[in-house]
Amino acid sequence: MTTLTGAKQGVFRRRDLFVHDGSHLRRISLTAPVQAAMAVLLLFVVGWSAFATARMVTASPTAVPKLLSPPKSPASPPPPRNALPGSNSASS
Q: What is the pLDDT of residue 46?
A: 98
Please provide the distance, in angstroms rounded to a whole number, between the alpha carbons at the two ends of the chain: 88
Q: What is the pLDDT of residues 74-83, one digit of tens each?
A: 667 767 777 6
C-alpha 50: how far from chain center: 14
- Sequence-distant (6+) residues with CB within 8 A of 26 are 18, 19, 20
pTM: 0.50
CA 77 vs CA 70, 71, 72, 74: distances in Å:
16, 14, 15, 9
